[in-house]
Amino acid sequence: MLIIERPAAYFEVHRLPIVLDTQDGETRIIRRVALSDLLTEFDERISSELNMDPLGLQVIWSAYGQKIFRNRISSISNDVRNYTLNLFNHRVTKALVDDDAVQLGKGLQQDKAYAGRGKDSTAFKQACLIYLENLFTFAMVEAQAQNNVETAGVLGISKARRRWEETKGNPRLVFSPSARAHVLVRQNSLGVSGRYKTPLVEMDFFDGSYDYALPASRPQWLKAQAQLFAQGKPLAHLQALLHGHLAKLLADPRREPELNFTELPAELKQAFVEAFRSPTRVGAYARDLWLGVTELDQGAPGALYEELKQEWLPDGQVLERPTEQVFALAVGRASLAAGDRDKLERVRLLEPFLAELELLMGVMLSAKSQSVNEVLAGWTSLGRDEAVLPQLAMPIERDVTMRSQVSGTAAERLTELLALARSNSVQQQVERLLKYHEKVMEARGQSPWLRLLNGSQLKIDVRTRKLPAKEDRPVGTWVHQYYVPQFRHLLSGMRGLA
């Protein structure tokens, strides 16, 4: 189950607009804009959690992780092929918008979704992106049986295969922003353009409304043009083929132009597959661009990057080290500026504290029913006492810049957890952690996982958790990864190995 954290707080900032009509001096509400009209792309800044984080710690650790990576990497955007595919699809769309010779047919001109703005409308750009995503995905399905292509990581590939089988290898491609054109359910959010929108916005390729003409966007598009799209570059021929194909399609007089997959030129499909056949194929030609525009090889992420490169073995394998070790080595790099070192050090202060809180919650969830005294005994059996949480909280509280780095829900929760750690006994820590958990679950609109009966007996309403052995969980062990595995995955594609 996907839970949107603190929806009330979100709506206070992003008030749902209404459409008004004024007649005869009176103003009437004719339509309230639905939430689905606004949330068209996946946005991790609206924090979401799977139902496996009873303390809501993700919103805290992810905030500090994104201070390092600046929203370039997330749990859903970390694949170099999808990064590049999204940029390419936007480049094709931008070229259509900029080319005055590309004219819309009568049906598209009259489409109310375009609100009279034609090619410059968000709906038109979404239709382009969806069409290109689907064309690529079906081309990969077709090529999978014929060529050496890697389909793992291609968004929507399972549903595309199903559609392929249902249509005997001849699915329809529809040019429209509507659900009729989608292969994925909620494709505007869950497809490539939705999942990889935030990184490209953060890098100034366009804004949230897909405006490509921003002053800050020009240098970014010039870099991409020089390295990927100029004549003789890896994606130039494919872009030219798609530009010609779409210009012809857009002249179709229907409101939603469409065609069968078999009507596509074989050269176009083959070129699409060849350009994006695997992440490493893409990484070989796109690495320099992405390291340049993301700046992930500089500052705090650059220090992590240098350490992750040390994991690469000559035979192409990767010897992964624990995240805490990667951070420790990165902090020690002499070339690292003080501000960037601070970003890494804050995570090193934070994580041992969060990990111990999660462990204490795990002890509380380790039996269907147990007394508070049994919880205390379980905590002691793991080598912990009442001093562990205060000792780990103290350096966080002493760092005056620590809490100023986050705001909103993340700041509120961290403040509450630090206050909880000041309790004088483990029993008080347990009782306050339980109240904190109840507050987190209430904010989600869910019931607490466990209840305290008669002030002494804990009962849980979910599956019990198995506790680790004492020797497997020394104090200070990290459990959250701060996007290092995702960064490692992105770099594995950028390595460009066949």
Q: Mark whether 288 and 365 lie in a shared domain.
A: no
Number of domains into which the chain is organized: 3
Q: Mark whether 60 and 120 lie in a shared domain.
A: no
φ, ψ (nearest 5 deg) of residue 200: -70, -35
Q: Mark whether 199 and 289 lie in a shared domain.
A: yes
| E strand map for 235-341 | 258-260
Q: Mark whether 308 and 376 lie in a shared domain.
A: yes
Q: Mark whether 275 and 342 lie in a shared domain.
A: no
In terms of DSSP bridges, do strands 457-460 and 369-371 run parallel, antiparallel, or are they unpaired?
antiparallel
Examine the fold and report which residue of 295, 313, 334 is the final residue of a domain before the chain moves on.
Answer: 295
Q: Mark whether 416 and 460 lie in a shared domain.
A: yes
Q: Mark whether 116 and 240 lie in a shared domain.
A: yes
In terms of DSSP bridges, do strands 369-371 and 258-260 run parallel, antiparallel, or are they unpaired?
unpaired
**CB of 375 closer than 8 Å to CB of 415:** no
d(C-alpha 277, C-alpha 313), whole Å: 24
Q: What is the DSSP string of 182-225?
A: -SSTTHHHHSHHHHTHHHHHHTTS--TT-----TTHHHHHHHHI
- Closest C-alpha to 194, from 183, 206, 186, 203: 186
Q: Output the tens digit of pLDDT for each of the chain's 498 residues.
A: 333 333 333 332 333 344 343 333 343 433 344 444 444 444 444 444 445 899 999 999 999 999 999 999 999 999 999 999 999 999 999 999 999 999 999 999 999 999 889 999 999 999 999 999 999 999 999 999 777 899 999 999 999 999 999 999 999 999 999 999 999 999 999 999 999 999 999 999 999 999 999 999 999 999 999 999 999 999 999 999 999 999 999 999 999 999 999 999 999 999 999 999 999 999 999 999 999 999 999 999 999 999 999 999 988 788 999 999 999 999 999 999 999 999 999 999 999 999 999 999 999 999 999 999 999 999 999 999 999 999 999 999 999 899 899 999 999 999 999 999 999 899 999 999 999 999 999 999 999 999 999 888 999 999 999 999 999 999 999 999 999 999 999 999 998 764
- Closest C-alpha to 473, from 307, 308, 362, 373: 362
357-360's contacts with Cβ under 8 Å and 24+ in sequence apart are: 357/55, 357/57, 357/389, 357/417, 357/433, 358/55, 358/57, 358/479, 359/384, 359/468, 359/473, 359/479, 360/384, 360/389, 360/429, 360/430, 360/433
Question: What residue numbers bound the domain in which 419 lies?
Answer: 56-73+300-498
